Structure 1
Amino acid sequence: MTTVESGAIYTDRAAPVEERVADLLARMTREEKLAQLGSVWAFSLMDGGRYSEERAQTVLRHGLGHVTRVAGATNLKAVQVARAANAIQRFLVTRTRLGIPAIVHEEVCSGLMAREATIFPQAIGVASTWEPELNRRLADAVRAQMRAMGSHQGLSPVLDVVRDPRWGRTEETYGEDPYLVARMGVAFVRGLQGDCPAEGVIATAKHFVGYGASEGGLNWAPAHLPPRLLREVYLYPFEAAVREAGLQSVMAGYHELDGIPCHANRELLTEVLRGEWGFTGTVVSDYFAVDDLHSYHRFAEDKRQAAAAALTAGTDVELPATDAYADALARALDAGEVGEGEVDEAVARVLRHKFELGLFENPYVDETAVAVTVNAERHREVALETARRSLVLLKNEGILPLRPAAGTVALIGPNADSARHLLGDYSFAAHVESLLEARERKGLLGQTMTVPDDLEMEESTDGVPTVRDELTARLGDRVRYAHGCDVIDASRDGFGEAVAAAAAADVAVLVLGDRSGLTTRATTGESRDRSSLELPGVQEDLVRAVVATGTPVVAVLVAGRPVGGDFLHEECAAVLMAWLPGQTGARAIAEVLLGEVNPSGKLPISYPRSVGQIPVFYGHKVSGGRSHWHGDYVDSPVSPRYPFGHGLGYAPFVVENVTLDRAEVAAGDSVTVEVTVANTGDRAGEEVVQLYIRDPQASVTRPVLELKSFARVSAGPGRRTAVRFRLPTGQLGFYNRNMDYALETGHIEVHVGFSSDALTLAGTFAITGDAGRPEVRKAYTGTVSVVEVPPATARPR
């Protein structure tokens, strides 16, 4: 039972948080402290799908730091999740000595991973909107749903910069550019954490750091990143999230950097993250990763050494269940390999979160209020708006939008009539499969993970329409459906029906691509890396067979990464990249195909022609193999199939005028770039105006282009929009030969346009000033204003 002394400071909600932390910490035993650094799977506290007091008495007797996935690792509906979370908290508050509640964490890569929760587009699609404010609204919706169910920490955003789409987790990222990743990530953190910690959810940026730069595009493989590249590209989004958005948690990566696994890398977790950036939150382990220092990396001799290495490096909390931070960490303490002070520091950070979240005052949630919050209509509207703007029209030879009188439509392909295939790898439906596979194989990720036999899982795609559903609702019996083939299987048995349907139709819509998840049935997602970017299975052959009928073909790619071979992209009349668009994705696809919505997504990652080009990204160096003697490969261009920032629409926009407000700017000041763009078409549309800079000569070589700002604009037919970018010089610095962030005098080119290879030179300005002046403070972004230009007034006769 809870035994709290009268007048204990930590129970006084009016006392400063630091005093409450210190008071509580001084009262704790070693066992209680270690418990705060650990976690437990929610299903370990369940029996027959219900909370078990008997199991809680064994597992929670000393308290607990985190509960892992009450929603995402059970089969409970939203109200049941809230009820279970309340029961766990009630035990901790009333049945443990000090009454310390737990933090409940959940996966939130594409919304809260829970039955009945809204399933948003996967992150790579969200990045394709180039609209950070939309991502903030998305995260705010996730925050509301999490809080309603009794959750307090979300394992997102993924701030990995990725330039190798072979990597299965490409879909979880915001793409290849550090600035775009930072803007989307900062917005997500602000939306999830909110304005008030007691009403917010802790955001957990991952995977710290360089995880998306893995050797061979393989999950958990080493990342080979020299210090300057690490600082300027891969650390940058995390730094922006900490300094701009007040990020409260970081998850270390599974991989290693220069021989040091990230979970044991004190330079990263303590010296850079805490010492340089002033981060005050918690570092949590990726699942099972503390023991991986021993069992996978062979960096530590045993669990005891693994626990000591992780904790002393700065890893505060072990997820998803206490393993090395239990008896092994206690033995490390006894052996003097870890100091009591280091344990106290980590425990204090966990306790600080709990006080700031308001858990001591409000550990429970209103179970009757869950139904009106989870998957509310306002959240589905955000999902739909995001899905619409995430779709990238890669190619269009005039066939789209499909005209009302287009005749019959052959709808073909493995993703045409599948709700499941619209969802990302951390959707609830996908993780259901992971837990079932873990139970069948008696393990996951090489670790012991006991999933109870009485834990029955269901696919959670009820109410999620398919592309077939949405097109049929609009076109009726003009839609002729044929499955064609499966995503990954080799059977061509459905080819005959597909070819017949295409031959008899006026247009064929092929919905192709991936199946996302973590199991062997998935073709994209965590640990589902590929050595080819062609469509999996026999889908490329299906494309050839349908194109051979002579019927015009529109390819819709529902995928987690750039996919498709030369034939598909060259021979199809239109190609629409839909990514993994979530529960409203099918509607967005149908609307774009039929012209109800103008496509406006832009690629957040360069689209390779083949794996032989990888890595291919726009911000390469001058010497990066793109401008040597012969230029191209012997057998292929060096340019990507579609460049970073590319995306077509039904309304053509042009840049009419670009100006710089000055030719010189003093270090520490800013320059203003004004752009006027016009919609020259006959329908309303949206476009993304992109601003890049180039430093033509510096003391260290610089990328040929660097994205520094962007703005989404909308305009009616014949209308103009003015965009004003304020670019602070603090954005233009880099790490010099001494690895100090510095701004050098010299010239900067400014380019503006609608993709990284369709740019107008705005002009050049010079940065002036004393080269010996104090360091210019780093800036992460400038400001943007968008104003509609009123139509010209007719001159009087």
Structure 2
Amino acid sequence: MVRRESEAAYTDPAVPVGERVADLLGRMTREEKLAQLGSVWAFSLIEGGRYSAERARAVLRHGLGHVTRVAGATNLKAAQVARVANEVQRFLVTETRLGIPAIVHEEVCSGVMAREATIFPQAIGVASTWEPELNRRLADAVRAQMRAMGSHQGLSPVLDVVRDPRWGRTEETYGEDPYLVARMGVAFVRGLQGASLTEGVIATAKHFVGYGASEGGLNWAPAHLPPRLLREVYLYPFEAAVREAGLQSVMAGYHELDGIPCHGNRELLGDVLRGEWGFEGTVVSDYFAVDDLHSYHHFAGDKRQAAVLALTAGTDVELPATDAYAGALAQALDEGEVGEAELDQAVSRVLRHKFELGLFENPYVDEAAVAVTVDAAPHREVALEIARRSLVLLKNDGLLPLRPGAGTVALIGPNADDARHLLGDYSFAAHVESLMQARERKGLLGQTMTIPDDLEIEESTDGVPTVRDELAARLGDRLRYARGCDVIDTSRDGFDEAVAAAAAADVAVLVLGDRSGLTMEATTGESRDRSSLDLPGVQEDLVRAVVATGTPVVAVLVAGRPVGGDFLHENCAAVLLAWLPGQTGARAIAEVLLGEVNPSGKLPISYPRTVGQIPVFYGHKVSGGRSHWHGDYVDSPVGPRYRFGHGLGYAPFVVERAALDRTEVIAGDSVEVEVTVANIGDRSGEEVVQLYIRDPQASVTRPVLELKGFARVSAGAGERTTIRFDLPTGQLGFYDRNMNYTVETGHIEVYVGFSSDGHTHAGTFTITGDVDRPEVRKAYTGAVHTR
């Protein structure tokens, strides 16, 4: 055991954090500082399924910044994860000179990427609830599970605004609108970080910035974003997360902006993030991305220059394993290519987080308590509530809900009886496949890495029911099943059985769509970009064959992006979009199909007819081609198949009244918008009331509509609900010709409704100026009251 001075200021929890950081930094050697900027894969510290002290001594002797995925990069159960985390911390605390604990980070795109953790719906489904509070509760559950297993930083939320669903990571996002993305992101950050980091988990917003606006919808491709669009749309959710929620970490994107890769972009990470917004947290690299400045972008001449460019730009920590920030960065420091001040600044940020997380006082977790926290019943209830509200009923000719005693149901399709296909790309089951493939090919994400041959890896979807399981439990022998085909294979061998089942049934339910993941077998997920939005494989042909039987068809799309061709959407009597609904998703699907739950999800992204329309999004400019001379394309309508905000239910709602409390307001004040909606159906239901504005004339052109508020409401049959939206004028500004945020005087039109095209004009008000008032500050949202 290493002995250290007990009177050192950094060991005293009563000393302010800033002083503790300064004291500890002053005691550190160059090697110890560099170690704080690096990381190590958890599996490299494990042998035979157990922590290996021998392996640890080889890589941890100077300390460590981050441990990468004790849960997500191993096959350990939750209690074993906690044990390994404790043993790593015990080595660092007792066997290194200064006893600095490490931050353990995990992927948390749809819950903790861990073997026994709750698998929540993928983010695009969470966004479809249009209920940020649910996302806060999701993140709160993730925080509890991570802390129980000894983890401290989650690589989420994904705040990429995406308007090109060809991009494989569409499923990880909250959609196309910056306001909706921001509200969901702020809620997630608040839930994950908690009231204090001593009980919280550091949230890592990614991918900074514009990653989802890639050229051709391709992963890692350049993003072509002019400055005003960059600020108003793509930077906006990150800014809101920093300023409103106190975001503590940002991950830079793999891509480049205007010729500068994000990991080496000093203007982006320094001037904007830290300078303008006052961000004080850490910037972590995406996996392998520091070396990518050299090996992929050819922006740096070698690994050493890549390290210098990244560190001086503001990239503090290299993930997932120390590479360029080891020997290459040490050489650059020796040669004076980067100063000690830049090194100390980055190390100070990492140390501050470790003190704020309480790691020096409480580096260990209670291994016996893990079982009652990970995938606890309340967390599964949150997952189920999200899944129910995430389902978007795109079309319904009256076939749904399926009536009790209505006859036999043929259940058909590759996603009808496969639990794995309900899960997103960063679920544990999906990512284990990536590790298996990486071990076989000795690499991951195109990078060289070594996964020990003794690492036990096995896919598991234990306890995740399928749609067939849930419908069979409800329909019994009224249910007939035929797979029909696989997701991506081209074999039609199962068509005859599927057609026979459909022809003999009263209703056919086709469960179709994607398989999410990072491997070549996946059709959606990271680096699984597509050039078509038709269903993969021969699924479109399966739809045609089943529809030809004359049996009414319900299509259930389990997918990571908008999918399905004209035939499916025009000829199926009902279409239900389930996204990737997680471990409780099959139950939610069955409940909605049978009318036990009223569908209430709303699209967070416009649904294109074809890839030829892309980008298609609701907030386009007047000159955006939707109202030109001839209007439509020669061969297709110009509008999307389903609009942003669209989603049907079994209980129809109407807007009965919408009004403003004033027609004139001084810049800096607010307008109140009051909306009364009524359920005119014969059953209880939920709706999402959406508030849009339009600035009809400004010094720079504005979108035809901008979302500025929303509220989910519930009402019984014949009941009414009134919502009051507070609309601050600081929320209505934009970047002027000099790229300054401004709230201009002039008219603002206000609309309310249940989608971006089904809205009512609530009124118009005028913003006036007041020379005695200071500059109007940007506002990110207004209060919402429901009664």
Offset from partner CA, 1:161-180 (integer Å, 9 cap, x none): 00000000000000000000
Structure-2 separation of matches of 1:496 and 1:655: 48
Shift of 1:618: 0.1
One-letter code aligned to 2:786: V
SS at match of 1:755: coil
Could you tell me which residue of structure 2 aligns to residue 185 of structure 1?
Answer: 185
Alignment of 1:532 onto 2:528: no
Could you tell me which residue of structure 2 aligns to residue 574 of structure 1?
Answer: 574
Could you tell me which residue of structure 1 aligns to residue 93 of structure 2?
Answer: 93
One-letter code aligned to 1:241: A
Alignment of 1:362 onto 2:366: no
SS at match of 1:350: helix
Shift of 1:645: 0.1
> What aligned pairs does 1:234-253 form with structure 2 within 5 A after superposition?
234-253=234-253
Structure-1 separation of matches of 2:3 and 2:207: 40
Structure-2 separation of matches of 1:84 and 1:445: 26
Could you tell me which residue of structure 2 aligns to residue 53 of structure 1?
Answer: 53
User: Does structure 1 conserve the Cα–Cα contact (< 8 Å) formed by 2:502 and 2:546?
Assistant: yes
Offset from partner CA, 1:699-733 (integer Å, 9 cap, x none): 00000000000000000000000000000000000
Structure-2 separation of matches of 1:2 and 1:286: 34
Structure-2 separation of matches of 1:24 and 1:206: 30
User: Does structure 1 conserve the Cα–Cα contact (< 8 Å) formed by 2:41 and 2:68?
Assistant: yes
User: Does structure 2 conserve the Cα–Cα contact (< 8 Å) formed by 1:744 and 1:771?
Assistant: no
Shift of 1:527: 0.2
SS at match of 2:2: coil
Shift of 1:772: 9.0
Offset from partner CA, 1:629-665 (integer Å, 9 cap, x none): 0011000011000000000000000000011000000
Could you tell me which residue of structure 2 aligns to residue 488 of structure 1?
Answer: 488
Shift of 1:771: 6.8
Structure-2 separation of matches of 1:204 and 1:196: 16
SS at match of 2:698: coil
Could you tell me which residue of structure 2 aligns to residue 132 of structure 1?
Answer: 132
Could you tell me which residue of structure 1 aligns to residue 147 of structure 2?
Answer: 147
One-letter code aligned to 1:332: A
Offset from partner CA, 1:487-513 (integer Å, 9 cap, x none): 000000000000000000000000000
User: Does structure 2 conserve the Cα–Cα contact (< 8 Å) formed by 1:78 and 1:114?
Assistant: yes
One-letter code aligned to 2:618: Y
Structure-1 separation of matches of 2:337 and 2:163: 39
Shift of 1:769: 1.0
One-letter code aligned to 2:680: T
Structure-1 separation of matches of 2:440 and 2:133: 42
Structure-2 separation of matches of 1:214 and 1:483: 36
Structure-1 separation of matches of 2:337 and 2:618: 46
Could you tell me which residue of structure 2 aligns to residue 320 of structure 1?
Answer: 320
> What aligned pairs does 1:539-578 form with structure 2 within 5 A after superposition?
539-578=539-578
Structure-1 separation of matches of 2:411 and 2:311: 55
Alignment of 1:757 onto 2:757: yes
Shift of 1:770: 3.9
Shift of 1:773: 5.5
> What aligned pairs does 1:722-733 form with structure 2 within 5 A after superposition?
722-733=722-733
One-letter code aligned to 1:207: H
Structure-2 separation of matches of 1:45 and 1:588: 40
Could you tell me which residue of structure 2 aligns to residue 350 of structure 1?
Answer: 350
Could you tell me which residue of structure 2 aligns to residue 776 of structure 1?
Answer: 776
Could you tell me which residue of structure 2 aligns to residue 748 of structure 1?
Answer: 748
Offset from partner CA, 1:37-75 (integer Å, 9 cap, x none): 000000000111110000011110000000000000000
Structure-2 separation of matches of 1:597 and 1:6: 61
SS at match of 1:269: helix
SS at match of 2:704: coil
Could you tell me which residue of structure 2 aligns to residue 174 of structure 1?
Answer: 174
Alignment of 1:468 onto 2:468: yes
User: Does structure 2 conserve the Cα–Cα contact (< 8 Å) formed by 1:79 and 1:149?
Assistant: yes
Structure-1 separation of matches of 2:445 and 2:725: 47
One-letter code aligned to 2:573: A
Shift of 1:272: 0.3
Could you tell me which residue of structure 1 aligns to residue 422 of structure 2?
Answer: 422
SS at match of 1:143: helix
Alignment of 1:233 onto 2:233: yes
One-letter code aligned to 1:673: V
One-letter code aligned to 2:386: T
Structure-2 separation of matches of 1:119 and 1:277: 34
Could you tell me which residue of structure 2 aligns to residue 335 of structure 1?
Answer: 335
Structure-2 separation of matches of 1:505 and 1:329: 67
Could you tell me which residue of structure 2 aligns to residue 301 of structure 1?
Answer: 301
TM-score normalised by structure 2 residue count:
1.00
Structure-1 separation of matches of 2:454 and 2:476: 43
Could you tell me which residue of structure 1 aligns to residue 678 of structure 2?
Answer: 678
Could you tell me which residue of structure 1 aligns to residue 644 of structure 2?
Answer: 644
Offset from partner CA, 1:135-194 (integer Å, 9 cap, x none): 000000000000000000000000000000000000000000000000000000000000
In structure 2, the gaps of 5 or more residues are none
Could you tell me which residue of structure 2 aligns to residue 794 of structure 1?
Answer: none
Shift of 1:459: 1.3
Alignment of 1:267 onto 2:267: yes
One-letter code aligned to 1:337: E
SS at match of 1:199: coil
Structure-1 separation of matches of 2:336 and 2:531: 46
One-letter code aligned to 2:471: L
One-letter code aligned to 2:243: R
SS at match of 1:206: strand
Structure-2 separation of matches of 1:447 and 1:425: 19
Structure-1 separation of matches of 2:715 and 2:642: 25
User: Does structure 1 conserve the Cα–Cα contact (< 8 Å) formed by 2:562 and 2:607?
Assistant: yes
Q: How many corresponding residue pairs?
A: 787
Could you tell me which residue of structure 2 aligns to residue 793 of structure 1?
Answer: none
Q: Which moved more, 1:163-172 or 1:769-778?
A: 769-778
Shift of 1:3: 3.1
One-letter code aligned to 2:193: Q
In structure 1, the gaps of 5 or more residues are 788-797
Could you tell me which residue of structure 1 aligns to residue 691 of structure 2?
Answer: 691
Structure-1 separation of matches of 2:346 and 2:652: 55
SS at match of 2:270: helix
Shift of 1:2: 2.7
Alignment of 1:455 onto 2:455: yes
User: Does structure 1 conserve the Cα–Cα contact (< 8 Å) formed by 2:666 and 2:770?
Assistant: no
> What aligned pairs does 1:23-102 form with structure 2 within 5 A after superposition?
23-102=23-102
User: Does structure 2 conserve the Cα–Cα contact (< 8 Å) formed by 1:686 and 1:714?
Assistant: yes
User: Does structure 1 conserve the Cα–Cα contact (< 8 Å) formed by 2:622 and 2:703?
Assistant: yes
Structure-2 separation of matches of 1:644 and 1:441: 41
Structure-2 separation of matches of 1:118 and 1:781: 31
Structure-1 separation of matches of 2:700 and 2:72: 47
Could you tell me which residue of structure 1 aligns to residue 505 of structure 2?
Answer: 505
Structure-1 separation of matches of 2:257 and 2:444: 24
Structure-2 separation of matches of 1:6 and 1:364: 20
Question: Alpha carbon RMSD of aligned pairs, Å?
Answer: 0.6
Go from structure 1 to structure 2 and tell me whether the alpha carbon gap of 1:407 and 1:613 turns closer, same or farther (over 3 Å shift): same
Structure-1 separation of matches of 2:26 and 2:635: 69
User: Does structure 2 conserve the Cα–Cα contact (< 8 Å) formed by 1:603 and 1:645?
Assistant: yes
Could you tell me which residue of structure 1 aligns to residue 220 of structure 2?
Answer: 220
One-letter code aligned to 1:434: S
Could you tell me which residue of structure 2 aligns to residue 790 of structure 1?
Answer: none
Structure-2 separation of matches of 1:604 and 1:458: 34
Could you tell me which residue of structure 2 aligns to residue 659 of structure 1?
Answer: 659
Offset from partner CA, 1:652-695 (integer Å, 9 cap, x none): 00000011000000000000000000000000000000000000
Offset from partner CA, 1:2-31 (integer Å, 9 cap, x none): 332131000000100000000000000000
Structure-2 separation of matches of 1:351 and 1:403: 60
Q: Which moved more, 1:345-354 or 1:453-462?
A: 453-462
SS at match of 2:671: strand
User: Does structure 2 conserve the Cα–Cα contact (< 8 Å) formed by 1:535 and 1:563?
Assistant: yes
SS at match of 1:198: coil
Could you tell me which residue of structure 2 aligns to residue 194 of structure 1?
Answer: 194
SS at match of 1:192: helix
One-letter code aligned to 1:308: V
Structure-2 separation of matches of 1:727 and 1:256: 36
Structure-2 separation of matches of 1:109 and 1:291: 25
Structure-1 separation of matches of 2:771 and 2:155: 43
Shift of 1:449: 1.1
Shift of 1:514: 0.1
Could you tell me which residue of structure 2 aligns to residue 290 of structure 1?
Answer: 290
Structure-1 separation of matches of 2:500 and 2:574: 21
